[in-house]
């Protein structure tokens, strides 16, 4: 975040969203390390990071004026935001019903599905962003797209049953 602030290109349309995402990622890492990955504060910080990353993807679409020409992208962005905003509702339900193991486990699995949906949707958007970009814009999008795809691919793989997170509550 500090590097982006000091050395990042100030004219980039995704600069603010990437700064916010970097800050939310740092907060998420601190909260996860200190409180654990299933603590509500860590989950909310991860949600804020995802929302900032989705905003960065939308800003990248607007970099060459495609935000107006690609109107089908807006409903996908809105759907991803709404799905991500459902995370605190499920977290609240899981917290209130923590005495009932079946409900707590179902709420955890719903949270995993939400994370997977957001990850897959973001990967689809990133694919459309790069595949439809003009040739002169592709070098600008390349490294940011690879980094964002890496984040969301890791998040998607983290939701699978064989991952540490997917196995955490299934044992």
Residue 67 Ramachandran class (φ > 0 left, ψ -120 to 50 alpha, else beta): alpha
**Alpha-carbon distance 29 to 32, whole Å?**
5
What CA–CA distance (Å, rounded) separates 70 from 129? 10
Burial category of 99 from C-beta neighbours within 10 Å (exposed 0-12, middle 13-18, buried 19 and up): exposed
Dig out the tokens for 121 from the structure: 């949707």
What local confidence, expressed as pLDDT, does residue 163 receive?
55
Sequence spans of domains, the chain:
2-168
CA angle 121, 127, 128 (to 5 degrees): 90
pLDDT single digits (tens) 96-147: 776 777 777 788 888 888 989 999 999 999 998 888 877 887 887 888 888 8
For 53-82, what is each residue's pLDDT tens digit? 998 888 888 776 665 656 778 889 999 999
Q: How far apart are CA 41 and CA 47, in angstroms?
A: 10
pLDDT at position 167, please? 47
């Amino acid at each position: 975040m500090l590097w982006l602030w000091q050395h990042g290109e100030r004219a980039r349309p995704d600069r603010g969203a990437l700064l916010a995402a970097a800050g939310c990622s740092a907060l998420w890492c601190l909260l996860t390390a200190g409180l654990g990955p299933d603590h509500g504060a860590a989950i909310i910080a991860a949600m804020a990071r995802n929302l900032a990353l989705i905003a960065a993807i939308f800003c990248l679409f607007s970099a060459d004026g495609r935000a107006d020409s690609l109107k089908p992208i807006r409903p996908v962005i809105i759907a991803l935001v709404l799905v991500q905003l459902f995370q605190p509702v499920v977290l609240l339900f899981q917290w209130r019903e923590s005495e009932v193991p079946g409900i707590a486990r179902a709420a955890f699995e719903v949270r995993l599905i939400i994370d997977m949906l957001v990850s897959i949707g973001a990967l689809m958007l990133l694919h459309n962003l790069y595949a439809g970009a003009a040739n002169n814009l592709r070098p600008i999008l390349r490294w940011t797209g690879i980094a964002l795809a890496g984040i969301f691919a890791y998040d998607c793989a983290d939701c699978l049953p064989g991952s540490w997170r997917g196995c955490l509550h299934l044992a």
